[in-house]
Amino acid sequence: MTALVPSFPPLLKGMAAGPANPFKIACDQARRGVDAGLVAWSAGEDRMRAALVLAPDEPLETAMAAYIASGVGMQNALGTHAPAETAVQLEWSGGLRVNAGYCGRLRCFSSGHDPKAVPDWLVVGVDLTLRLPPDFEPGERPDHTALHLEGCRDIDTVLLLESWARHTLLWINELDGATGRATLNREWEGLAWKLGKSVTVNTGSERHVGTFLGVDENFGMILKTESGDTELIPLSSVIEEE
């Protein structure tokens, strides 16, 4: 029998968002001082969305590793529940790629944007496309896809949500270890979309074009620009405005 409500690990507490935006709910709850570990979630026929509230005890720039952990957690979850041949890759700026097609994105919000300051709260999460809308015209965006188009029609969305939460929590806990950040870095680089290739990255009003060389110890993008210079784009630049 398929579960209707996800069962999360002991350190996490779920809050069903229904048709509402779970990211907005998570941010509102974080501002009100909710304990870290709240997972606001929504799992419909077309989308699966989940937002995890965190209370970092370190500066924003290093705390952003949790954003990376949520992406690797999503790949791990799909690796468990999707067909074995399903390839999942992660764009540095948050896009989720399934068999090379854009299939959703990671999202991140914070109480502040100063990379050197400890934020009051951080919300990381995932917005996954399960099914494209009926009026979607493939010719307009040929690189967009959905899980049901990639051989994943039989995935139990609730179980996928549970798996994402469990793997994400494991990776976040791994960061407390001496080698946890390096381990996460290696795992993520094996999934990175267009590593070593030309990319265009938009951060706020800025547009960055160049060759994606890799990331630094805080997962900032190292970009070789068209002029030949090397630019470091901090990961905190992907934080969205509410």
pLDDT, average across residues 134-140: 74
pLDDT, average across residues 213-221: 97
Is residue 77 within 8 Å of 86, Cβ to Cβ? no
User: In the prediction, which pLDDT does 134 show?
Assistant: 82
Show contacts of 75-83: CB within 8 Å, 24+ apart. 75/191, 76/163, 76/167, 77/160, 77/163, 77/164, 77/166, 77/167, 78/152, 78/160, 80/163, 81/152, 81/155, 81/156, 81/159, 81/160, 81/163, 82/147, 82/150, 82/151, 82/152, 82/155, 83/151, 83/152
User: In the prediction, which pLDDT does 140 show?
Assistant: 74
User: Considering only CA atoms, which of 98, 154, 159 is closest in space to residue 129?
Assistant: 98
User: In the prediction, which pLDDT does 137 show?
Assistant: 73
Digit-coded pLDDT (tens) for 63-83:
999 999 999 999 999 999 999
| Cα 60 from chain centre | 16
Question: Out of 3.30.70, 2.120.10, 2.60.40, 2.30.30, which CATH number does the structure's domain 198-238 have?
Answer: 2.30.30
Question: Where do the structural domains in the chain lie, given as residue ranges?
Answer: 13-189, 198-238
The first and second tokens of residue 28, run together, are: 């509102």
Average pLDDT, the chain: 94
CATH 3.30.930.10 fits 13-189, yes or no: yes
Using 50, 70 and 90 to split pLDDT, how confident is the model at 141? Answer: confident
User: In the prediction, which pLDDT does 3 show?
Assistant: 60
Tell me: pLDDT of 2 over 80. no
User: In the prediction, which pLDDT does 226 show?
Assistant: 87
pLDDT, average across residues 93-100: 97
**13-189 against 198-238: fold identical:** no
Using 50, 70 and 90 to split pLDDT, how confident is the model at 36? Answer: very high
CA 40 vs CA 6, 12, 36, 161: distances in Å: 11, 10, 12, 11
pLDDT, average across residues 231-236: 97
Digit-coded pLDDT (tens) for 101-113:
999 999 999 999 9
pLDDT, average across residues 49-60: 98
- Give per-residue burial for 34-48: e unless 16+ CB within 10 Å, then b: bebbbbbbbbeeeeb
Using 50, 70 and 90 to split pLDDT, how confident is the model at 1? Answer: very low
Q: Which range (88-92, 150-154, 195-199, 236-240) has the least confidence?
A: 150-154
Q: What is the dihedral of CA 179, 219, 60, 172, to 10 degrees?
A: -40
pTM more than 0.85: yes
User: In the prediction, which pLDDT does 55 show?
Assistant: 98
Across the strands, what pairs with 110?
122
Q: How many other C-beta atoms are found inside a 10 Å radius of the C-beta of residue 200?
A: 10
